[in-house]
Amino acid sequence: MQHEKLVKGIYFGLIGNILFIAFGVICWIYYKTFVGNAFYPRVLEVLAYAVEFMGFGLLAYSDWLLCRSIRMRGILKISFTVYIILEAIMMILELNSYRIEAYEPYSLGLAILHAVVSGLVCFSFLQLDPDNVKWEFAIGVCFTLIAAGMFGNILGIRIYFSIITNAIGFAVLFGAMKFFNDREEIEIDCYGDNATEAVFSSSTIFENTKSSFEIIEETVIEDPDEEK
* pLDDT value of residue 98: 52
What is the DSSP code string of 70-123? B-S-HHHHHHHHHHHHHHHHHHHHHTTSS--TT--TT-HHHHHHHHHHHHHHHH
Separation of alpha carbons 157 and 106, rounded Å = 7
Average pLDDT over residues 45-70: 90
Checking if the pLDDT of 198 tops 50, the result is no
> pLDDT higher for 28 or 217?
28
Percent of the chain surpassing pLDDT 90: 26
pLDDT tens string 7-17:
999 999 999 99
Q: Where are the domains positioned within the chain?
A: 2-182
> pLDDT higher for 91 or 69?
69
In angstroms, the first-to-last Cα distance of the chain is 71
Task: Find which of 1-5, 38-42, 57-61 is predicted with most confidence, using mean pLDDT.
Answer: 57-61
Separation of alpha carbons 108 and 156, rounded Å = 9
Separation of alpha carbons 121 and 143, rounded Å = 10
Mean pLDDT of the chain: 78
Checking if the pLDDT of 124 tops 50, the result is yes
> pLDDT higher for 20 or 225?
20
- Kindly report whether the global pTM for this prediction surpasses the value 0.85: no
Separation of alpha carbons 136 and 140, rounded Å = 6
Average pLDDT over residues 64-73: 88
* pLDDT value of residue 217: 47
Task: Find which of 85-99, 143-157, 159-173 is predicted with most confidence, using mean pLDDT.
Answer: 159-173
* Cβ burial, residue 227 (10 Å; 0-12/13-18/19+): exposed
> pLDDT higher for 160 or 167?
167
What is the DSSP code string of the chain? -HHHHHHHHHHHHHHHHHHHHHHHHHHHHHHHH--TT-SHHHHHHHHHHHHHHHHHHHHHHHHHHHHHHB-S-HHHHHHHHHHHHHHHHHHHHHTTSS--TT--TT-HHHHHHHHHHHHHHHHHGGGG-TT-HHHHHHHHHHHHHHHHHHHHHHTT--THHHHHHHHHHHHHHHHHHHHHHHTT-S---BTTPPPP-----HHHHHHHHHHHHHHHHH-----HHHH-
168: left (phi over 0), alpha (psi -120 to 50) or beta: alpha
Greatest Cα-to-Cα distance within the chain, rounded to the nearest angstrom: 112
pLDDT tens string 132-149:
999 999 999 999 988 888
